[in-house]
Structure 1
Amino acid sequence: MNTICIMCPMGCPLTIEEINGEVVVSGNTCKRGEIYGKEEYTHPKRCVTTLVEMKSGGVASCKTSTTVPKERIFDVVNFIGKLRVPDDVKIGDVVAKDVLGLGADVVITGRK
């Protein structure tokens, strides 16, 4: 598997392989790249960004406060799609805590 490390501005090109049951990362220039590569190979995670509807019908942008397992992204988006937040919501407000038990809150990042 080939990917780009996103742990720092270097953007090292990583090659990640499983050799004899062990995940081996090459191309990284620091320890953070090795850690990122192993996690990306074994249990990828992503921060979710989307829109949430306000009670008035407008929308606000939001994101998860931390990464969630990649295989649960659509579950999180569906959960957020059912939310209706107050019209007076502000940037930085937490509108849902511990979404689906994943340890991530939904935080407002902008208003339209």
Structure 2
Amino acid sequence: MEERKLICINCPLGCPLTVSIDQGSVVSVSGNTCPRGEAYGRKECTGPTRIVTSTVRVTGGKLPVVSVKTASDIPKDKMEECIGQLKNVSVSAPVHIGDVILENAASTGVSIVATRNCEAV
């Protein structure tokens, strides 16, 4: 049986987790002070995901770039592909928080959305 040590990132407590894994399946999670910690430990050891943040170019705007993020978490192994797709994206101003910048990023079914407003010049 394998044991992995993690720090839970679901809240500021940062509980030290110990996840026991047997033949690729999580057997137990200990060290968590709430149910979210257990869920995080299981997910991190079986299918880790992340929120991707970046910027994209803006044409005709008061700012040269606008910040963006994935609308939800995506598989960790798709992060590089997602960021690579964003290198070629340019949007026209105005841009508003929540605007969909790119649909189905890295074939994950998750959209990239703006996290900042950018008015047109």
TM-score by structure 2 length? Answer: 0.81
RMSD over aligned Cα atoms: 2.0
Aligned to 1:5: 8
Question: Hey, what does 1:93 align to over in structure 2?
Answer: 99
Match of 2:19 among 11, 16, 21: 16
- Asked if 1 retains the 8 angstrom alpha-carbon contact of 2:25 and 2:46, the reply is no
1:16 is aligned with what amino acid?
Answer: V
Aligned residues: 112
Give distance in 2, aligned partners of 1:13 and 1:111: 38
Question: Which deviations, in whole Å up to 9, do the C-alpha atoms of 1:19-41 show, x marking residues without a partner?
Answer: 36541211012222111101101
Return 5+ residue gaps in structure 2 as ranges. none
Select which of 10, 29, 49 maps to 2:53: 49
1:8 is paired with a residue of what secondary structure? coil
* Greater gyration radius: 2
Q: 1:1-53 CA deviation, whole Å, 9 max, x = no partner?
A: 22221223332111123136541211012222111101101110000001111
CA distance in 2, matches of 1:27, 1:37: 10
- Distance in 2, Cα, partners of 1:60 & 1:33: 33
Query: Which consecutive unaligned segments of at least 5 residues does structure 1 have?
Result: none
Contact 2:68 2:115 in 1 (8 A): yes
Which residue is equivalent to 2:64?
58
TM-score, normalised by the number of residues in structure 1:
0.87
